[in-house]
Amino acid sequence: MSTLRGMTSVRLVPDPHDPGVLSAIEARLAGAESLRAAVAFWRLDIPELSGNLIRVLSGRGFLCVDIHLPTDIDVLCDMKLAGANVYLHIVETGTQAVEGGTGIARNLLHTKIYLFESIGAVPELWVGSHNWTLSALSGLNIEASLEVGCEPKSELYLSAVESLEAIRRKCVAVDPSLRDYYKRLQGFQEPPEGPGTIVQVLEVVADRPSELQGLRFTLFSSDRVELSKLKTVGQSLIVLARSPGGSQEERFRAHVADVGEIAKSGIAFDSRLHAFDDGASWPRIVGPSIPEVAEIRAKGFWATVVIEDPLGEQVLLSQPCRIPVWKDSPGDAYDSRIEQGAVGLFPAPFGPFVRRAASPDEVQHLRTNHVGLASQPRRKGRLLQRVLAYGLPERK
């Protein structure tokens, strides 16, 4: 019974007949000197509450929030700029430890603890299910929390303070200058620098790349999936042509003139520039000559491409990809939190159990080296590369 000493009141909120708690929160903030809180999700920016909220979260007050969605980074950064002490918990469940599939949330900070303190009044502790979201506080969600009055020297009060401070030590102070970085960690993709156009790039080898302008060639391939990307007559693409030794390179705007399946077309191909895709290296343009019938039949599909104007150096190409901003953390300090008897219940009982975020500098390095605007895309076993083209002029 000693654990109950110092508790002056205990109440379950909200009232079943009045499920919203916004008015109760507003009253607590108005009368409080400070608020120490640790919450899984924080989204709301309520003008009627913001003044008192910033006040009680300054000084010895603070707020700890998990970084994962639906937490609103802009709201937290604005609170920090206004003077609140705001912290982010930036750890997530490891790839091998996710329970029941990839749909499970990865956030590891799940607490909903609010400790309101006022001069001359008994501190009030809220512990339960209420996140700082509209659906939770308005009454739309079915939520429940215990509202406990506790003396400042009581075991419950001291335990709550100890828990909140321990959570704060696991978090990092919000830096508003890292607003975009935090959003990257949430899964938002960085917008490209300027308007980019998604376009297919076909890489080929030609004896004299600079002389291809105005010519057309027929590409034969057995890769139906790849050639299906050029299935529309008139479709735009970029042809990147290199000399056999790689000493010369030209990039051209181009379009598809015709496409088809050999077995269904009955077409006899006359003398022309042509190339065969072997699935391993860049197709080489040869001719003009009559393509070998046996080779045509072996490939099964074709597309004729018309090469238009050369592209200047102002046109930059970038292969879109996701930057790996979270990394598995084997042997992490968080592993010790798992009860020994529960380790074997995880899908991968040897971990890694958590992932840590790449630093802002690492993310910038990854961006520069993986999605930086490269002068040329690289073939990865595919006939066509899907890229973002920047500075691409309008077709004439």
pLDDT band at 267 (very low <50, low <70, confident <90, very high): confident
* Cβ–Cβ under 8 Å, residues 106 and 92: yes
User: What is the model's pLDDT at position 165?
Assistant: 98
What is the rounded average pLDDT of the residues 147-152? 95
User: What is the model's pLDDT at position 215?
Assistant: 95
Residue 316 has pLDDT above 50, yes or no: yes
Beta-ladder partners of 127: 113, 146
* Cβ–Cβ under 8 Å, residues 355 and 160: no
What is the rounded average pLDDT of the residues 371-389? 55
Q: In angstroms, what CA-CA distances link 163 with 37, 53, 74, 115, 169?
A: 10, 21, 27, 11, 10
Q: What residue spans define the domains of the chain?
A: 2-186, 196-318+374-390
Residue whose C-alpha is closest to residue 31's, from 89, 117, 114? 117
Residue type, 192: P
Distance CA 387, CA 200 (A): 6
Characterize 91-111 residue by residue with b for buried, 16 or more Cβ atoms within 10 angstroms of its Cβ, and e for exposed.
bbbbbbbbeeeeeeebbbbeb
User: What is the model's pLDDT at position 94?
Assistant: 79
Average pLDDT, the chain: 84
Distance CA 185, CA 323 (A): 10
Residue 351 has pLDDT above 90, yes or no: no
Class assignment of domain 2-186? Answer: alpha beta
What is the rounded average pLDDT of the residues 68-95? 93
Residue 16 has pLDDT above 90, yes or no: no
pTM of the model: 0.63
Residue type, 352: P
* Cβ–Cβ under 8 Å, residues 273 and 288: yes
Top pLDDT among 305 and 195 is at: 305
Please enumerate, as own/partner, the contacts of 329-336 that have beta carbons within 8 Å and a separation of 24 or more. Answer: 329/94, 329/354, 329/355, 329/356, 332/356, 334/91, 334/108
- 342: which 2 tokens? 């529960």
Beta-ladder partners of 172: 88
SS3 39: strand
SS3 48: helix
* Cβ–Cβ under 8 Å, residues 97 and 359: no
pLDDT digits (tens, 9 = 90+) for 23-58: 999 999 999 999 999 999 999 887 778 889 999 999
- 196: which 2 tokens? 């980019």
What is the rounded average pLDDT of the residues 91-102? 66
User: What is the model's pLDDT at position 321?
Assistant: 52
User: What is the model's pLDDT at position 74?
Assistant: 92
DSSP annotation of 97: G
What is the rounded average pLDDT of the residues 141-148? 95
Top pLDDT among 10 and 377 is at: 10
In the chain, the percentage of residues whose pLDDT exceeds 90 is 44
Distance CA 268, CA 270 (A): 6
pLDDT digits (tens, 9 = 90+) for 173-188: 999 999 989 988 888 7
In the chain, the percentage of residues whose pLDDT exceeds 70 is 85
* Cβ–Cβ under 8 Å, residues 30 and 4: no
Distance CA 254, CA 260 (A): 18
Residue 286 has pLDDT above 90, yes or no: yes
Classify residue 293 as exposed, middle or buried by CB count within 10 Å of its CB (0-12, 13-18, 19+).
Answer: exposed
- Helices (H), ranges, 178-261: 179-186, 224-227
User: What is the model's pLDDT at position 174?
Assistant: 98
Residue 227 has pLDDT above 70, yes or no: yes
Residue 265 has pLDDT above 90, yes or no: no
User: What is the model's pLDDT at position 33?
Assistant: 96
State the residue for tokens 């491409």.
305
Note the residue count of the chain. Answer: 396
Sequence-separated (6 or more) residues with CB below 8 Å from residue 142: 19
User: What is the model's pLDDT at position 196?
Assistant: 63
